[in-house]
A and B are shown apart, each in its own frame.
Chain A
Amino acid sequence: MKFFNFHLMPYADADLSAIERHGSAWVTFPNTHCDPVKGADLYHRYLDELEYADELGFDGVVLNEHHQTAYGLMPTPGVLAGALARSVKRGKLMILGRALPLLNNPLSVAEEYAMLDNLTRGRFIAGFVRGIGAEYHAMEINPALSQERFAEAHDLIIRAWTEPGPFQYVGKHYDFRYVNVWPRPYQDPHPPIWLPSQGSSSTIAWAARMRYTYCQTVSPIALVARFFDMYRSEALKAGYEASADQLAWSNFIYVAETDEKAVREATPHLDAFNRLQKMPVEMLLPPGYSNVESMKRIRAARISSRPQTAADMIRAGVVIVGSPNTVREKLAEYQDLAGFNTSITKTQIGTMPAGMVRENMAAVAEEIIPHFRDRMAAVPVGSVA
């Protein structure tokens, strides 16, 4: 299995009671709660943590994009990727990913990713996402156009990377007299493309058809297994057998000497993560973001669910928290259950301070990763594939 270290870069100094009173840390949570002096310290601390991950032997480091929120301080992840391109020496560098429909000029991502691919001499992995519903409120992009803008922006970027320029591109949402991206990507024909999703069936089907690596965002492991099965089944429909290398699970792992200590230490930070992540359904699902059937399903699930606690997340296998032995056992069990060969692991959780994070990172690197280096997932029992 491969291990990537994923950082959400939360505003860890956030006033959680203020977020609770406001109802959410997204879009309308006033930015007067952001102290830039603390923000500056956090950026440097988080970049140090990702550089440490590279030293510890993680296979790569991962950034993402969110807007107008204390949940994550990466509205422009390319800035941080640029800072890491020369300091992360061995591992891959991944942005998971840029939210394409939010852009009025998708060529800017073709350029930015090509630059990063050059800077890292081909160690870059390109993630594309639609962006969660909150981004459409934050960036004033019409959610009803999200799917068609994503498809068109993706096609334009791939063409910009693979067809000799200059050429003209005329689409419904984007048009360019000259498409002629300099620099060209370092990797031939272009960086690997990964698609994270919360489990949209149309995204999974499309990722399988395109043979893009699919990454399931923080979800109970039983659900992860179901979505990965869907991917394998869609791959068969497309005429090939998907490999476990095409599937990645995004999780949190926290390791301490004993189960009891690990749970005790991780719990307040998992609870903080849940508070930072929380948003009302009308923010998560603006009209038109998904088709009517998906919207009904998610609305029903949201209305009937109670707020998630740290204990719920551990029990359902959203996260793995425990002694080295417990974490190894659970990870092996989950790998075989869902059939994936990549763990995209967050080692910083919510408000977790630097010391705890570094100890956790070292523990994952020493106690977990070596045991999984040569461990590859078999096709899970009962899988349609």
Chain B
Amino acid sequence: MADHSEETVSVKGCRIRLMRGGEGPPLLFLHGAGGAGPWAPFMGSLAKRFDVIVPEHPGFGTADTPDWLDNVHDLAYFYLDFLAAQGLRGVHLVGLSLGGWIAAEMAIRDTSRLASLTLVNAAGIHVPGVPQVDGFLSTDEQRIRDLFHDQSFAEAAIARSLRPEMEDVMLKDRQTAAKLMWHPRSYDPHLAKWLGRIDVPTLLLWGAQDKVVPEPYGHAFQRLIPGSQLSIISECGHLPNIERADEFVAEITRFIGNEEGAR
């Protein structure tokens, strides 16, 4: 039996691919600049407790690239509309990297449909003096290596990326990522000013060895979002959902369980 469904949904004329599986409270996962990819083991694990909803962002993969897509604000409004269109309430919003940035932009605008927010190695703000790799000026291989602490994950990802049929999606994803993240480089100077508006329980989950959005960013988000908790995952790079999938799922499940217990 398939543990998830895959369909194309249209939100205000923009068609995107949507993966969905599991039962329970809704959990919306927003992917990073590397794209949505296929249904992944961590999604299956989360689906044991949640109704896991994984859209592919406009401009990525097989989704439309709408004329209105210029910046991360546009995606934040798109996903607020998506929540309304799907009739979702009490949503646990989880965003990774670029997806974390989108999630933060959503949450400073409107938390009425959110039950909690989890930002995972999220982009969107700038912390002075923290060295970061430049994924736009790395070889395809080095860019993948820099995502992982444990290079055995990198080897597998590099092998997958070399498949010729991946090139179209990779180039499209990177084009959209450049449009959204090239300048200012992976942040919006106005986001940090308004993170204090976020009024839902917030977890910051960070791979300790991230070279893309390093750990000091997790601490900076924690200072800026009232009452937020920071959980560091050791021996882990930019993608805890891949590199430390069990701990990633356990942390999110623990955080949401505690918050629900407290209510």
Chain A contacts to B: CB under 8 angstroms = 27-28, 136-137, 140-145, 280, 282-283, 286-288, 292, 295-296, 299
Contacts and interface: CB of A to CB of B under 8 A. Distances in A.
B139 interface: yes
Interface of chain A, main secondary structure: helix
A19 to B, nearest CB: 17
B79 to A, nearest CB: 21
B135 to A, nearest CB: 9
Contact of A140 (B172, B177, B179, B183): B183
B63 to A, nearest CB: 14
Contacts of B246: none
B137 A137 contact: yes
A142 B171 contact: no
B84 interface: no
Contacts, number: 51
B178 interface: yes
A28 B136 contact: no
Given A137-B137, A282-B137, A283-B137, A144 B175 contact: yes
Given A140-B183, A141-B183, A144-B182, A292 B168 contact: yes
Contacts of B171: 287, 292, 295-296
B81 interface: no
B179 A144 contact: yes
Chain B interface residue count: which class? 10 to 19
B138 interface: yes
Contact of A282 (B138, B172, B175): B138
Given A287-B174, A295-B171, A282 B183 contact: no
B137 A292 contact: no
Given A143-B178, A292-B171, A287 B183 contact: no
B167 interface: yes
Closest 8 CB pairs of A and B: A287-B174, A144-B179, A287-B178, A288-B175, A142-B182, A144-B178, A288-B178, A292-B171
Given A280-B139, A286-B136, A287-B136, A292 B175 contact: yes
B28 to A, nearest CB: 26
A144 B137 CA distance: 15
Contacts of B136: 137, 282, 286-287
Nearest to A292: B171
A288 B172 CA distance: 8
A282 B135 CA distance: 10
A142 B178 contact: yes
A280 B183 CA distance: 21
Contacts of B176: 144
A296 B175 CA distance: 13
B182 A143 contact: yes
Interface string B152-190: 000000000000000110011011111100110100000
Nearest to B136: A286
Interface in B214-250: none
Contacts of B174: 287-288
Best-surrounded residue of A28, A141, A286 (most CB of chain B within 10 A): A286
A292 B172 contact: yes
B139 A282 contact: yes
Nearest to B174: A287
Contacts of B138: 282
A332 to B, nearest CB: 42
